[in-house]
Amino acid sequence: MDESLSVIEKGAVAISGNKVVETGTSREIFQKYISENIVKGDGRVVLPGLINTHTHAAMVYFRGIADDLPLTDWLNKHIWPAENKWLSPEFIADAVELACLEMLKGGITTYSDMYFFEDAAGVACKRIGMRAVLGSGILDFPSVSAKSTDEYIENAERFAQNWKDDDLIKPCIAPHALYTCSPETLKKSKAKAEKLDLPLHIHLSETEWEVREVMTRYNKRPVKHLADIGFIDETVIAAHCTWVDDMEIELLAKHRVGVSHCIESNLKLASGFAPVVSMLSEGVKVTFGTDGAASNNDLNILSEMSTTAKLHKALSNDPTVLDARTVVLMATRWGAEVLGLGQKVGSIERGKIADIISINFRKPHLTPLYNVYSHIVYAAMASDVETVMINGKIIVNDRKLLTADESEILHKAGKWYEKISGR
């Protein structure tokens, strides 16, 4: 997934410490390097780790708790009450372990989060070895994590200071949305992000209701509103962008805003269809997010890739749009770039950090192999991911997590289910 999207057949990757030293054919690599640790790859495809640019990882513990509902009912009547009752650092730490386990086994090596008690999330990610951009959520109303907007922002700054030099965790400022954050809150969030040199993560134009609400309040469409208050630039990752018009797409492109497309959550909540083809044609970098498992209901980027490619072909009445190579690019290098990690990860190149996965192609549904990009997008499944390396360290080998006890993670999830369900 370098600039030329090159594919090396019978290839190998040489890694020293946490960095890629060189890529090439197996013959070339083995003539130049020796190692006591050789991960064999016969019948495997090696590619950069997948990037999940928008999720709420700890919501895995609310998976299936309130399905088949409109977004506003889902949030107001079920999710926010559940969060106010159950969220705590202990809840977040345990739930994030389960989310990381699921994502790692699906080939995701980096995720971008928006939630609460992110210190606990950071500790869990570090323990497992997951790379994460963790966004401290900011709202205009109180919750279990803060009583005021200023307290949310203070929490975000404290979190950022705690993790500013970490090699796996990157802090982020995450005002929730335009309908939950006033212009003053958004400006404060932007100022804090600029002061701390951090990215911003926000829900944007997810539903038609949201757009109507913003226009009622400010007499402007959401993207125009954000542009006018000086909020959007290349540091912003905007989740969903389902209901953006042509003028707004031009603004997103002009300000180099990264977009996280969450197709399966949008489909399940009947939120609509983001104009991905139009955004791409205007130069907007569109990437993939799963959203939370409470609305998706899984954390599977390979599934998002396949659904996106096929759905937008049908919506466009054009089978050539969102070709497989573009889709893999969106899930890897572009994902890293919109999160501000493009110099470190997202492709397998000399000097970059070794966040790498291998997919076992010796499967009936992946045979025969004519085009590797096509198989990754249209045929591969999360269960085909075999090896996961993050920061030069093997985290998953032969589909087994090496850094934590899988059975203990599932056991804790079961105990939380008993509490939440009252059973």
In this predicted structure, what is the pLDDT of residue 71? 78
Give the pLDDT band of residue 110 (cuts 50, 70, 90). very high
**Phi, psi at 142, each rounded to 5°:** -70, 155
| pLDDT per residue as tens digits for the range 44-66 | 999 999 999 999 999 999 999 98
In this predicted structure, what is the pLDDT of residue 72? 81
Give the pLDDT band of residue 35 (cuts 50, 70, 90). very high
Burial of 35: CB neighbours in 10 Å, binned 0-12, 13-18, 19+? exposed
| pLDDT per residue as tens digits for the range 338-384 | 999 999 999 999 999 999 999 999 999 999 999 999 999 999 999 99
Mean pLDDT of the chain: 97
| pLDDT per residue as tens digits for the range 37-47 | 999 899 999 99
Q: Which residue has the tokens 């969106």?
A: 330
CA distance 82 to 78: 6
Q: In terms of Cα–Cα distance, which of 109, 54, 112 is closest to 260?
A: 54
Give the pLDDT band of residue 423 (cuts 50, 70, 90). confident
Q: In terms of Cα–Cα distance, which of 311, 333, 263, 272 is closest to 291?
A: 263
Burial of 250: CB neighbours in 10 Å, binned 0-12, 13-18, 19+? middle
Mean per-residue pLDDT, 157-168: 96
In the chain the domains, ranked by start, together with CATH numbers, are 11-48+349-401 (2.30.40.10), 50-338 (3.20.20.140)
Quote the tokens at residue 374: 């096509």
% of the chain residues with pLDDT over 90: 97
Give the pLDDT band of residue 73 (cuts 50, 70, 90). confident
Tell me: pLDDT of 161 over 90. Answer: yes
Q: In terms of Cα–Cα distance, which of 271, 336, 279, 267 is closest to 307?
A: 267
In this predicted structure, what is the pLDDT of residue 74? 86
Mapped onto helix, strand or coil, the DSSP state of residue 153 is helix
